[in-house]
Structure 1
Amino acid sequence: MLKILILDIYPSDNWRLVKDTAGGYGTGNNFGTNYLGKIMNFFVGKTISMPPMSALYIYSILKQKKILVKYTKKIEQIKNISDYDFVVMPSSIIAHETEVSALKKLTNLGVKVFIIGIFANVKKEAYQMKNSFVIPGEPETFFLENDLDNLNKFFNNEGRSYFGKPFVANLDDLPFPSWDEYIKDYSLKNNFLSFNNKDAIPIVATRGCPYSCFHYCTYPLQQGRSVRFRSVNNVVNEIKHWVKLLSAKKFVFRDPVFSINRKYTVALCEEIIKQGLKIEFLIETHLNNLDDELINLLFRAGLRLIYIGVEFADNGVLKDNKRFTIEKDSQYQIIKKLEKKGIMVKSMFMLANPEDNEQTTMDTIKYSNLLPNQLVQFSVFTPYPGTPAFKQFENDIVVNKMEEFNQYNLVYKHKIFNEQLLNKYKQIAYKNFYFDIKKLYIVFKTFVSIFRK
């Protein structure tokens, strides 16, 4: 029987590292080294956790094909790695150097390694070695369609010309990810959803994003700009599966823009309600896709936490980043409706954009406090390899390691900001928001959630 190891390794940083975010490049919430930054690193690291979904989809596909498969984040836990016929390694930008270092050691030992993920496709030259093979496109198709008894061919000239299909054509063909196996050793968490420590099951209804922010966003690189949909029944059947098997009540939708198709969203919500599923879930979407009727329906279906990208307060900065948004008054009104309905809102903002200065940065920070959102996130503009933004700033990159591209570091030469000045404004932003007396209950509930099981 074939034995395959899924080796999902990370650097030993003292903050949350998640490869599934930022379109599969991953993010690392490094809030800084001062007192407040260390506290936030600890909190977020303890409250949010999940692996790359593609790794667990592949786990299920292999198990379905009667392959002996194991998932681990710790290479040192594998005593005899040569006992495995193949290793599958998820790639990312936040663990790039760590992955490449481990890959060199493995391939030098003669271990044959398949590399998955969009970042390895973008930086193929770094991952392609004598005993490694970078799987093109979405890797689930590769393991669904290929003869797994003949995988050795991909490590000689015969298989090097394989291109495969870039995307999974029918998402219903995918088996449900093996979360039941994963949680035996690792946690699935988003404690901000209901502020409890129960498993929060990642789930996806759609892949693909057509929006204009592909200038700097990596989701279109990973999933394409055409939106693909699972059938409503397939999504609901997966929810019911985890409710029955794991007594799951919390779900995190990993769609780039959950409510991008109103008709589909309505049908999904109505089916969840019809089936009597008592669940709570989190989505990320665009404010432009929400109206009173849809907000009410989403709440009835179980929506309790929503991520929205506001990004910038200054219209000039928005235009420079080719970012579409709605008018500020409409932003306020929609967020207020969500808040009154009992849906917690996390607004996401971006600092150190190319056209930002100290005044526009303070405007964004002040605006984050004016909105009736309960949670905020301030990330840093990052010109990711593979995007048009990277081509624009390629000669201005100031860091030596790809792992620095974690969406919380300043990686390019900004005309105003350096790392020290940016950190000053990051601390102002988080302190002004979360040390407001109206937000202290969220800080307290977050702290308590760490100790719940």
Structure 2
Amino acid sequence: MINVLLINPPDYKMIQGAIPKELGSDRMGKYPPLGLLYIASYAQTRYPAILNINIVDAITDSLTHEEIHRIIEEFQPDIIGISVYTFTLIDSLQVARSAKKIIPHVPVVFGGFHPTIYPKETLLCSPDVDIVVAGEAEEAFSAVIGRILNMQSLEGLPGVSFKKLNGDIHIDKQTQFVTDLNALPFPDRRMVNYKHHSCILGATGLTTNILSSRGCPYRCRYCYVNIREYRVRSLDNIFAEIHNCLSLDINEFFFVDDLFNLSKRRVIGFSERVIDEGLDIRWSFRGRVDQIDDETLEKAKKAGCTRIHFGIESGVPKILKRVGKGTNLEMVRNTLSLTRQFGIEVSSSIMIGLPGESPRETDETIRFVLSLSTDYIQAAVFTPYPKTAFYEEGLRSSLLPNDYWSDFALHPVENFEPYIWGEFYTKDQLFDKLREIYRRFYLRPRFILSYVKHLTSLKAITKLAKNFQTFLSLITKRRIKD
């Protein structure tokens, strides 16, 4: 029997990004680590008789590094896999360091967004990282397990980079992705504390996230999507997973696809299936404003859709055009208004400090979002992310002084602060402006009265108290770091 431990690390040392820390990680809700659950289910299917696999979800369970250390010590894993984002790299490295202190020769595998972009830097930045898996890791991580079991070299595995015994680095530049999503086993949510998952905007039932597709064909200049091949699951496959969740009393679903409504027909087909099966579920999704109409909303509402999260980005036409969103302000206004007419809540996300955006245009975006038919907003300071079109533009124009993300990946340090697009603002000015947006939107009597109507149970009142604490800490802090 081989022990495999997959870890979703804590975020105590999360670097400051586009969103204030008050709105990061579990402050806005807790969801299962779907990536690790998919990897675990796939590996168990491939090695059913010899694999003992556990998942540590430090975010949901609010685990300290000391508690993770004890779990590793007790479980004595033969392989450790850690999910790594750039913003939680410091915590991920601390977990790896802790593991090596307990079991010096245990292979530590890093996967996720960060090592996909920076495989070489990830291997070189720490003696405690042995292997990197790039892209969608279900097949690659299971292949790594097989090679380790058989004491074979990892060379030749697509998307797998590693340190050789002589200290040399082997880099495989391929990024793996799963072509047939229907072939993947469902994430086994019983491997984590699924009853502790919730959304700050959710109802009182059990909540989970779910993926019905992967990839995104669009090319927004602020976004990095390492896999553009858009792949979808069949309705039969999606609903089999939904029924699996219903057997666990989970009845609220957030579709976290990069793009759930690539076409209106897809949303309508899903909604009709919910109606035909008579399912009593609540669901929400992230979508584009240009793939919504009356028929889509009517069917979605009848099928239990409670909220749609739209990426608005800017209230200035020239900025929208520059980011490559492919939408316009009239489209935004009409779609949001129509969505609320059908009784579906709207959550809108915007960014300030985008390339070319003057202070006057920032105020124009604020006025625009305040005029929209939206129930919630999520505002962020634009941060040039690695490998995006805007990041490369900033490097070419010398507006960004150096490739600081690559430097951080190679030499990670605590309290690292990424640059903003500093044409017109300092970082403090932008974050003060961000807090102004939240104050002006959420302190309006219209919003407060609307929110109070949701208080129909003790659990809802308790959630309101937590939400208020989060909001109060957000709007009253003047500095970026506290």
Q: Under TM normalisation by the shorter chain, which class is it?
A: 0.7 to 0.9
Q: In the alignment, what sits opposite 1:266?
A: 268
- Contact 1:193–1:304 (8 Å) recurs in 2: no
Q: In the alignment, what sits opposite 2:378?
A: 377
- Contact 1:55–1:90 (8 Å) recurs in 2: yes
Post-superposition shift, 1:233? 0.2
- Indicate whether 1:256 and 2:258 are aligned: yes
Post-superposition shift, 1:201? 1.2
Sort the Cα spacing of 1:41 and 1:437 in 2 relative to 1 into closer, same or farther, 3 A: same
- Indicate whether 1:93 and 2:86 are aligned: yes
- Indicate whether 1:278 and 2:280 are aligned: yes
Deviates more, 1:141-150 or 1:268-277: 141-150
CA distance in 1, matches of 2:39, 2:206: 21
- Say which SS state the counterpart of residue 384 (structure 1) adopts: coil
Q: In the alignment, what sits opposite 1:54?
A: 35
Sort the Cα spacing of 1:342 and 1:355 in 2 relative to 1 into closer, same or farther, 3 A: same
Counterpart AA for 2:55: Y
Counterpart AA for 2:5: L
Sort the Cα spacing of 1:410 and 1:353 in 2 relative to 1 into closer, same or farther, 3 A: farther
Post-superposition shift, 1:48? 1.2
1:206 to 191, 199, 213: 213
- Contact 2:16–2:418 (8 Å) recurs in 1: no
Post-superposition shift, 1:100? 2.8
Counterpart AA for 1:90: S
Q: In the alignment, what sits opposite 1:9?
A: 9
- Contact 1:349–1:379 (8 Å) recurs in 2: yes
Question: Can you list the C-alpha shifts for 1:316-373, whole angstroms capped at 9, x where unaligned?
Answer: 21222222113x3332222122112111100110111121121111111111110010
Q: In the alignment, what sits opposite 1:135?
A: 133
1:126 to 121, 130, 138: 121
CA distance in 2, matches of 1:116, 1:209: 20
Question: Can you list the C-alpha shifts for 1:198-217, whole angstroms capped at 9, x where unaligned?
Answer: 3311111111111130x221
Aligned length: 422
- Contact 1:282–1:306 (8 Å) recurs in 2: yes
- Contact 2:259–2:287 (8 Å) recurs in 1: yes
Q: In the alignment, what sits opposite 2:351?
A: 350
- Contact 2:136–2:178 (8 Å) recurs in 1: yes
Question: Can you list the C-alpha shifts for 1:30-51, whole angstroms capped at 9, x where unaligned?
Answer: 26xxxxxxxx559x84441224
- Contact 1:50–1:189 (8 Å) recurs in 2: yes
Post-superposition shift, 1:437? 0.3
CA distance in 2, matches of 1:151, 1:173: 28
Q: Over the residues paired in the alignment, what is the CA RMSD in angstroms? A: 3.2
CA distance in 2, matches of 1:126, 1:427: 35
1:208-247 alignment to 2 at 5 Å? 208-213=215-220, 215-218=221-224, 220-221=225-226, 224-244=227-247, 246-247=248-249
Q: In the alignment, what sits opposite 1:84?
A: 77
CA distance in 2, matches of 1:421, 1:201: 36
Counterpart AA for 2:91: T
1:188 to 182, 193, 197: 197
1:382-393 alignment to 2 at 5 Å? 382-393=383-394
- Contact 2:213–2:233 (8 Å) recurs in 1: yes
Post-superposition shift, 1:397? 5.7
2:425 to 417, 422, 436: 417
TM-score of the two chains, using structure 1 as the length reference: 0.84
Post-superposition shift, 1:192? 0.8
Post-superposition shift, 1:240? 0.8
- Indicate whether 1:436 and 2:417 are aligned: no
- Contact 2:119–2:171 (8 Å) recurs in 1: no
- Indicate whether 1:71 and 2:77 are aligned: no
Sort the Cα spacing of 1:106 and 1:295 in 2 relative to 1 into closer, same or farther, 3 A: same
Q: In the alignment, what sits opposite 2:473?
A: none
- Contact 1:193–1:282 (8 Å) recurs in 2: no
Q: In the alignment, what sits opposite 1:427?
A: 435
1:322 to 297, 317, 324: 324
Determine what percentage of the aligned residue pairs are the same residue: 21
CA distance in 2, matches of 1:389, 1:333: 29
Q: In the alignment, what sits opposite 2:176?
A: 166
Q: Which runs of 5 or more structure 1 residues have no equivalent in the other structure? A: 18-24, 32-39
Post-superposition shift, 1:292? 0.5
- Indicate whether 1:179 and 2:189 are aligned: yes
CA distance in 1, matches of 2:244, 2:212: 15
Sort the Cα spacing of 1:151 and 1:236 in 2 relative to 1 into closer, same or farther, 3 A: farther
Counterpart AA for 2:69: E
TM-score of the two chains, using structure 2 as the length reference: 0.79
Sort the Cα spacing of 1:362 and 1:164 in 2 relative to 1 into closer, same or farther, 3 A: closer
CA distance in 1, matches of 2:441, 2:284: 22
CA distance in 2, matches of 1:449, 1:204: 26
- Say which SS state the counterpart of residue 80 (structure 1) adopts: helix
- Contact 1:434–1:443 (8 Å) recurs in 2: no
Post-superposition shift, 1:229? 0.8
- Contact 2:17–2:418 (8 Å) recurs in 1: no
Sort the Cα spacing of 1:104 and 1:191 in 2 relative to 1 into closer, same or farther, 3 A: closer
Post-superposition shift, 1:136? 2.5
